[in-house]
Structure 1
Amino acid sequence: MTEMTATTAADTFLPGGRRRHRKPRQNGTGTGLRRAVVLAVAMPVASAALAGPSAFAAQKGAGATAGTHGLDAGDQQMAKSLKTRVLDQRLGSNVSGVVLNADSDTAVWGHHAATALMPASNAKLATSTAALTVLGPQHRFTTKVVYGHGTLTLVGGGDRTLTTADLAELAKAAVAGLRAAGRTSVKVTIDDSLFPQPSLAKGWDDGYYPDTVAPVRALVVDGHGVQDTSIDAGKVFAGQLAAGGVTVTDGVTRATARPTDVLVARHKSAPLSDIVRTMLKHSDNNIAETVLRMTALGAGRPATFEGGTQVVRQVLSRVYGVSLKNVELYDGSGLSRADRIPAAALAQILELLTQPRYAHTLGSVLDGLPVSGEAGSTLGPEYGRFDDANSKCAVGKVYAKTGTLTGAIALSGLTRGKDGKWKVFSFVENGATAGPDAVKDAVDGLAATVNGCHA
């Protein structure tokens, strides 16, 4: 199927200019958006254009702010400061940045805003938006236990938050059923056929498995970073059965549940909205990759990297009108060094969070953004964020997704400026030679500039 991409003219981004993309025709409720996704995925391009192209893109050439007509005094000062501070030597020369005034529907500042760079974990913003739109914020992932022919089968349902306690409850129900049937021994198999066999995404290093990200399987317990998370979960389940007095014979093996197998018990995860919050707060790569595959299945596509990223692109462009010019996606977490997203596209995704009609569907993305200085998140003091003279004034005022790879640091989010209006920003740098901590301090200073506390 040919993909419709919302394109932008490269020379239409001007500070103070009107630039919000056309509003999709469907309503912003979860049901309306999910219906739109079905149409966008299933129908030809000519009939699937639910949103028009964005009206803004990066200015040609150096991308520096060419003027500040149409901006109030506060935004003019911000643009002037950013024009100078984006040239900070710590950031290097390969920087993409943009600031939007969401309340007044104007672009404030841009610097190479349409230049596509490695977004690192900022890619999770795209994954989250697509997942919540396709599956809905109340969607839950189901893990089942079925029985047949003397075998209990643990069936994975893509729940990356499954715990030993959850498996213990499933085992308790299974033990009760076996006892009622007069059985004291059983075989145990696992069925993780929901996902194809794990593979490395394009741009992933072989060394990522299993520490940075585990092989993507439909069954995992306690977030264990092991090569075969499914067999590992099966062993934990078998241990719980043994603790209940049932003998497990022949070890744990992989098999596909039969259609005639009887449902014994099932566990439902927390709502997707809660899972997305956790994923964003801690930048969890494993949750992101699992959610990407479940999003693909929800849209009727194969549960692969390719199927998932294709659905993400279709949701962003066809449902929300986000420009995908120069965007390349190969995974859901942003670990791929082949991923490319301009700051302009990231800002468009974040701008959706300021629109009340999308609050029901996408509200957990805003809730999940780390807050500057928030302990336990990727913007917390344990990561050395917002703790220097230029940025500490913005503690508690910036809501943003972090992104960190070797040679790539990004920060994209929202803050209320000195005028009290939402400012949406995205800063992405690649290839800086300064140390990561120095680069992060410089980027945090840019966010504090958007907030207005670092004048």
Structure 2
Amino acid sequence: MRRALVLALAVPFASVALSGPSAFAVGEDPGTTANDPGTTAKDTAPDGVLGADDRQMAANLEKRVLDPRLGADVSGVVLDAASDTVLWGHHASTALMPASNVKLATATGALTVLGPDHRFTTKVVHGHGTLTLVGGGDRTLTTADLTELAKTAAAGLKAAGVSTVKVAVDDSLFPEPTLADGWNTGYYPDSVAPVRALVVDGHGVDDTSLDAGQAFAARLAAAGVTVDGAVTRATAGPHDVPVARHRSAPLSDIVHTMLKTSDNDIAETLLRATALGAGRPATFEGGTEVVRGVLSLRYGVSLAHFEMYDGSGLSRADRIPAATLAEILDLLTEPRHRRVLGSVLDGLPVSGEAGSTLGPEWGRFDDADSRCAVGKVHAKTGTLTGAVALSGLTQGKDGRWKVFSFVENGSTAAPNDIKDAMDGLAATVNGCWA
């Protein structure tokens, strides 16, 4: 039934938006209101009927999507969250490079497979005179966490009468390759580090595992343990004795952080962990295969023209239609998905929110057209050279929640000008830029 939406969007839209049921609504919850994007409104309009506010919004979008700053290759769609009526569309089934909007798919897959309460465990084990730091895929591990691991390990060693050890790191949880298809060489290690199961403080270095091991060794030395030689890479043995462990925050918190700041490294780690959680190899291919299965089989999202090669959206080979991104976001408006996917909704940056990718420090929602929408738009950003995307939710002028997705590729305008035009489209959906 969801495929009906994508097929409908393949038909060009007239200047007055067409509409029709997407067939993925679940019925209304009598206890919900229109004031929360995670709920459905009770006053659902009849299918195929657009109110005056929606007709005006669609007419404005039809003109504003032609803004020269956006270039000629633009895909967009707006849905009514309660009825799943398509309010407006522009080449909505055309697959374009979505940049970091891929993280919406990654987050949905990770939360569904692993669960929002999942935690990542980093361990220290001892055997044959070696302490091995074993990576568990915790991309949020900090120096303070390593310090506690070292203190605990040092106390155990001293109690056993051991004062000198070798130190090794085990990052075998995530196999090679560490770089995805479609990543430009200029992306790593700064925009994204080669993907490994062990990292500290999110360091952007080529070998995050050895870097973390060296930091751990330094903390051991500070705790009074002599470290013999350089840190090496090894695989922990089945009979090694556990001496310390650290558990991350819940996955829901990690997803929240990933989306607010568009953290590429967290996204790539979550893709690998999702593969493992589904019993697949912890590779890019394994992860994207599982995400595709979750979207299609669990949630009924159409994968027509959907191509995903990494978890962050840095791959220039990724292609996702705006219609598909809107379908993923529409899941967040269904109360039955709130427990599992709630952190995706909560993690969407809010227009004008400092510290997020829609904050004033990034020049978002700060011009005459979009300033009126500050605090009113919840959306995931996406930015690569040659690709800008903005997909999210906002409450329209009629008080009803709208799901939208806009993606452009190939504009030659300045990046900030493109983002201003995108923000203007979102403000149009909100209705404050009438």
TM-score, normalisation: structure 2:
0.92
Corresponding residue number in structure 2 for 1:435: 414
Deviation at 1:165, TM superposition (A): 0.5
| Whole-angstrom CA distance in 1 between matches of 2:388 and 2:68 | 14
Which range moved further: 103-112 or 252-261? 103-112
Partner of 1:236: 215
Does residue 174 of the first structure (1) align with residue 171 of the second (2)?
A: no
Contact 1:7 1:323 in 2 (8 A): no
- The 1-side partners of 2:81 and 2:347 are apart by 19
SS of residue paired to 1:301? coil
Which of 60, 85, 94 is 1:115 aligned to?
Answer: 94
Q: Distance in 2 between matches of 1:192 and 1:406?
A: 32
Change (3 A) 1:126 1:424: same
**Which letter does structure 2 place at the counterpart of 1:16?**
S
2:40 corresponds to: none
Residues 273-318 of structure 1: CA deviation (Å, up to 9, x unaligned): 0000100000000000011000000000011100000001000000
Query: Aligned equivalents of 1:164 and 1:244: distance in 2?
Result: 14
Q: Which letter does structure 2 place at the counterpart of 1:279? A: M
The one-letter amino acid paired with 1:310 is: E
Structure 2: where are the runs of 5+ without partners?
Answer: 12-16, 28-46
Residue among 279, 297, 315 paired with 2:258: 279
Partner-residue secondary structure (3-state), 1:122: helix
Check the 8 A contact 1:157/1:219 in 2, yes or no: yes
Deviation sequence 1:303-355 (CA, Å, 0-9, x none):
11000000010000000000110010000000001000000000000000000
Q: Which one-letter code corresponds to 1:208 in the other structure?
A: Y
CA distance in 2, matches of 1:105, 1:94: 25
Cα offset for 1:244?
0.8
Among residues 367, 373, 389, which one is paired with 2:368 in the alignment? 389
SS of aligned partner of 1:239:
helix
Alignment partner, residue 118 of structure 2: 139
Aligned to 2:249: 270
SS in 1 for 2:22: coil
2:60 is aligned with what amino acid?
S
Distance 1:177 1:454 in 2: 64
What is the CA distance between 1:419 and its match in structure 2? 1.6
Equivalent residue for 1:451? 430
Q: How many residues align?
A: 408
Superposed counterparts of 1:39-438, under 5 Å: 70-438=49-417
Code of the aligned partner of 1:269: S
> Does the Cα contact within 8 Å between 2:123 and 2:246 map onto a contact in 1?
yes
Aligned equivalents of 1:94, 1:394: Cα separation in 2: 25
One of 7, 16, 31 as aligned partner of 1:10: 7
Amino acid at match of 1:286: D
Q: How many Å separate the matches in 1 of 2:56 and 2:6? A: 27
**Which secondary structure state, in structure 2, belongs to the residue aligned with residue 372 of structure 1?**
coil
Q: Identity, % of aligned pairs?
A: 74
- Displacement, 1:20? 3.1
Q: Report how far residue 212 of structure 1 moved.
A: 1.1
CA offset digits 1:234-283 (Å, max 9, x no partner): 01110011001110002100000000011101100000000001000000
Which ranges in structure 1 are unaligned for 5 or more consecutive residues?
A: 25-67
Q: Given residue 10 of structure 1, which amino acid in structure 2 is its aligned partner?
A: L
Q: Quick check: 1:127–1:288 contact (8 Å CA) kept in 2?
A: yes
Report Cα offsets for 1:31-82 as digits up to 9, x if no partner. xxxxxxxxxxxxxxxxxxxxxxxxxxxxxxxxxxxxx951011111101110
* Contact 1:155-1:257 at 8 Å conserved across structures: yes
Q: Please report the TM-score for the alignment, with normalisation by the length of structure 1.
A: 0.88
1:7/1:327 Cα in 2 relative to 1: closer, same or farther (>3 Å)? farther
How big is each residue's C-alpha offset from its partner over 1:83-109, in whole Å with a ceiling of 9 and x where there is no partner?
A: 111111111110000000011331100
Cα deviation for residue 233 of structure 1 reads 0.5
Distance, in Å, in 2 between the alignment partners of 1:193 and 1:7 is: 43
Paired residue type of 1:93:
A
Distance 1:303 1:413 in 2: 29
| 1:19 corresponds to | 22
Q: Is the 1:198–1:217 contact (alpha carbons within 8 Å) kept by the matching residues of 2?
A: no
Deviations 1:137-186 (A, max 9, x none): 00000000011111111000000000011011111111111111111111
Aligned-partner residue type, residue 210 of structure 1: P
CA contact (8 A) 2:380 2:390 kept: yes
SS of alignment partner, residue 273 of structure 2: helix
Residue identity opposite 1:200 in structure 2 = L
| Shift, 1:6, TM fit | 5.4
